[in-house]
Amino acid sequence: MNRRNTKTVDAPAADDRKFFTLEEARRALPYVARVVKDIMACYSYVLELRERLEIPRPDDTTSELKRDYETGMEKLNTLLEEMQQVGVELKDFERGLVDFPAWHDGREVCLCWHVGESSIGAWHELDAGFAGRQDITLLEPVIAGKRNANPAN
- Whose CA is closest to 53, among 73, 68, 71, 74? 68
- Strand pairing category for 134-135 and 122-125: antiparallel
Q: CA 101 to CA 107: how far, in whole Å?
A: 10
The reported pLDDT for the residue numbered 104 is 87
Each of the 153 residues of the chain gets a pLDDT tens digit; together they read 333 332 223 333 455 789 999 999 999 999 999 999 999 999 999 999 999 999 988 888 999 999 999 999 999 999 999 999 999 999 999 999 999 999 888 889 999 999 999 999 999 998 888 888 999 987 765 444 555 445 444
The reported pLDDT for the residue numbered 107 is 87
The reported pLDDT for the residue numbered 16 is 75
Contact 143, 22 (CB under 8 A): yes
Strand partners, 102: 109
The H or E element containing residue 120 is none
Q: CA 47 to CA 41: how far, in whole Å?
A: 10
CB neighbourhood size of 54 (10 A)? 7
Distance from chain centroid for Cα 116: 15
